[in-house]
Amino acid sequence: MKTADVSKITETILALELAINERWNKGDVDGALEVYSEDVSYFDPLTETRLDGRPAVEAYFRQFFEGKLNILRNEFPNPQVIVSDGGDMAVLHYNLVNFIPDGQGGEKQGALWNSTQVYRLIDGRWRVVHVNWSFTRHPAAMQGLMS
């Protein structure tokens, strides 16, 4: 695969992820759901088991996150996209740092996350087929950084 093709795919994947997170920060879960494939699989530290399929993920998101988030901004240190030789699959992984209101008109650092998103080109569109979120540090070690 040409370097230019890999660069274009990388830019596309990062733009999709940034757009998802901008909406997510405001409690709009549809940004993610619109990019997830029908057969997406999903893990995060709050799920007991893997969630299989967009309907299961949607029910989870709507119950726990829709309209309930207030993340002022976030940073994506260390993003990396690994593109398959065929150019039809890409793995994105990054650290995510959230900034939340501090209650005094400013902001403070919120949760620190590790993210892995597996994208696949389906019918000409990049779709997320697998998601895994984990805490950068175990919550007990974070002492007050979560909200």
- The percent of residues above 70 in pLDDT, for the chain, comes to 93
* Total domains present in the chain: 1
**What pTM was estimated for this model as a whole?**
0.90
The per-residue pLDDT for 70 is 92
CATH code, domain carrying 14: 3.10.450.50
Q: Is residue 112 one of the residues assigned to a domain? A: yes
The per-residue pLDDT for 39 is 98
Range 62-75 average pLDDT: 95
Q: Is residue 147 one of the residues assigned to a domain? A: no
Range 35-46 average pLDDT: 97
Residue position matching structure tokens 């549809």: 30
Structural domain harbouring 100: 3-142
Q: Is residue 30 one of the residues assigned to a domain? A: yes
Range 116-123 average pLDDT: 98
| Model confidence at 54: pLDDT above 80 | yes
Question: Mind giving me the DSSP string for 80-144?
Answer: EEEE-TTSSEEEEEEEEEEEEE-SSSSEEEEEEEEEEEEEEEETTEEEEEEEEEEESS-HHHHSS
- Asked if 30 and 23 count as a contact pair (C-beta separation under 8 A), the reply is yes
- Asked if 90 and 9 count as a contact pair (C-beta separation under 8 A), the reply is yes
Q: Is residue 32 one of the residues assigned to a domain? A: yes
